[in-house]
Amino acid sequence: MELYSRAISPFAARVRVSILAKGLPIRIIDDPDVGSEAFAKLNPLRRVPVLILDDGTAIPESDAIVEYLEDAYPELPLRPAELRERARCRVVSRVAEQYVFAPVVAIFTALSKGDPQQVDKLFGELDQALLSLGSLLQAESASWYTSGERLSTADGALAPFLFYVQYLGQACGRSPLVEHARLRKFWDAAQGQPVLAAVIEQLAQAFRARR
Residue span of the structural domain in which 107 resides: 83-210
Answer whether residue 138 shows pLDDT above 90. no
Q: Are residues 117 and 137 in the same domain?
A: yes
| pTM strictly above 0.85 | yes
Domain tally for the chain?
A: 2
> Given 72, 94, 115, which residue is the final one in a domain?
72
- Last residue of a domain, which of 72, 97, 116? 72
Same domain as 122, residue 63: no
Question: What are 120-133's pLDDT values in tens digits?
Answer: 999 999 999 999 99
* Per-residue model confidence (pLDDT) at position 139: 80
- 50-52 and 2-5 strand pairing: antiparallel
Rounded mean pLDDT of 94-120? 96
Tens of pLDDT, residue by residue over 143-167, are 999 999 999 999 999 999 999 999 9
**Could you tell me if residue 29 is left (phi over 0), alpha (psi between -120 and 50 degrees) or otherwise beta?**
beta
Say what the pLDDT of residue 210 is.
Answer: 82
Q: What is the per-residue pLDDT for 140?
A: 74
104 with 167, same domain: the answer is yes
* Predicted pLDDT of residue 141: 79
| Percentage of the chain exceeding pLDDT 90 | 95
Domain with 60 in it: what CATH number?
Answer: 3.40.30.10
Residue 77 lies in a domain: no
